[in-house]
Amino acid sequence: MKHFIVFSFLFILCLNVAEAQTNANIAGPENVLVVYKQPSDQNDSLGLVSQTVKNYYRDVRNIPTSNIVPLYLPDTAITIGGVTHPITIAEGGNIIRDSTNHINGTWYATRHAWKYFYQYVALPIKEHLINNNLTSTIRYIVLCKGTPFYIQAACDSTNVIANLAVDGLLAMLGTNNYDILLDSIYNKYRSYAVPNYHVYPNYYQQMQITNPYYNVDQNLNMNYRFKPGVFTRSWNGHTIKLDYLISHLDGISYSMVKNMIDLSSEAIHADGYAELVNRNETNILFN
């Protein structure tokens, strides 16, 4: 996938917004949700690696069992309005790919890959949060190697509208009527889904959803540590809630991911860790 991370559309250009002070405690294991690809069988090498990453991170960071979410991510057919497209998990688990649009090389994205994202990724996470009374406890959603980064709803190009990273969408998972919000975002993007989209006036203003958490504590008074239910943004009639920060446990190999986990574990026991968290958390986009 060519430069797939470039089009992570949400929260890139941001406004400075002062929200209510949060003064939340530094997050602990109870505030972290770990998501992994559940192996379909013993031949599912990617699922087995994802499960191994999950197990190692869970044990090192003492993540509660209730904070673990398995995702079933099959290659399957999605039908919308009587039209069926095969959807695959491509490129080492990184991409939710509409195979029909990919093969045809079309700029004109359809909703099939987005529906897959909602049905197989967003909805299971949201239901887990609700069913385990975690909606206001979780602050960070950690995606293990094997869970997709990106929705490819049209051809393989960074310039295609409606191809985008999933992080921003998952960050807004606590928004009321989340499925309707996804439709609104898709429809807004789809309305610009032509090769010369950049000629439209006010394109970026129309598409941009600004990050309500960005730079809220410019003076580093440490009164705005991230927590759910505080930071919101109005967009196209929706009150978007930024309830979760998203991170990835991913790398070329399991050993690379394991090393990353080990280094982070060492860091949390180092002198000055709390101060570092205080300073960094007020200005990060996704954890």
Q: What mean pLDDT is predicted for residues 157-186?
A: 90
Instruction: Specify if 174 maps to a domain.
Output: yes
Q: Answer yes or no: is pLDDT of 198 > 60.
A: no
pTM of the model: 0.84
Q: Answer yes or no: is pLDDT of 8 > 60.
A: no
Element (H, E) at 96: strand 95-98
User: Rounded to an integer, what distance in angstroms lies between the CA atom of residue 106 and that of residue 224?
Assistant: 44
Instruction: Specify if 80 maps to a domain.
Output: yes
Q: Answer yes or no: is pLDDT of 18 > 70.
A: no
β-bridge partners, 90: 95
Instruction: Specify if 287 maps to a domain.
Output: no
pLDDT band (50, 70, 90) for residue 270: low
Q: Which residues contact 270 (CB under 8 A, 6 or more apart)?
A: none
pLDDT band (50, 70, 90) for residue 12: very low
199-232 pLDDT, tens digit each:
555 665 666 788 888 888 777 777 788 888 889 9
Instruction: Specify if 286 maps to a domain.
Output: no
Instruction: Specify if 237 maps to a domain.
Output: yes
β-bridge partners, 101: none
Looking at residue 95, what is its pLDDT?
96
Q: Is the Cβ–Cβ distance between 47 and 145 less than 8 Å?
A: no
Q: Is the Cβ–Cβ distance between 251 and 145 less than 8 Å?
A: yes
Q: Is the Cβ–Cβ distance between 75 and 87 less than 8 Å?
A: yes
User: Rounded to an integer, what distance in angstroms lies between the CA atom of residue 262 and that of residue 120?
Assistant: 30
pLDDT band (50, 70, 90) for residue 189: confident
Q: Which domain holds residue 245?
A: 4-281
pLDDT band (50, 70, 90) for residue 129: very high
Q: Answer yes or no: is pLDDT of 273 > 60.
A: no
Looking at residue 102, what is its pLDDT?
96
| pLDDT > 70 fraction of the chain, expressed in percent and rounded | 79
pLDDT band (50, 70, 90) for residue 2: very low
User: Rounded to an integer, what distance in angstroms lies between the CA atom of residue 103 and that of residue 57?
Assistant: 37
Residue closest to 147 by CA, chosen among 195, 200, 95, 192: 95
Q: What mean pLDDT is predicted for residues 40-59?
A: 93
Instruction: Specify if 63 maps to a domain.
Output: yes
65-79 pLDDT, tens digit each:
999 999 999 999 999
Instruction: Specify if 259 maps to a domain.
Output: yes
User: Rounded to an integer, what distance in angstroms lies between the CA atom of residue 240 and that of residue 171?
Assistant: 10
Q: Is the Cβ–Cβ distance between 154 and 106 less than 8 Å?
A: yes
Looking at residue 196, what is its pLDDT?
57
Query: What is the three-class DSSP state of 94?
Result: coil
Q: How many domains does the chain have?
A: 1
Half-sphere CA count of 74, side-chain side, radius 13 A: 7
106-118 pLDDT, tens digit each:
888 899 999 999 9
Q: What mean pLDDT is predicted for residues 179-189?
A: 91
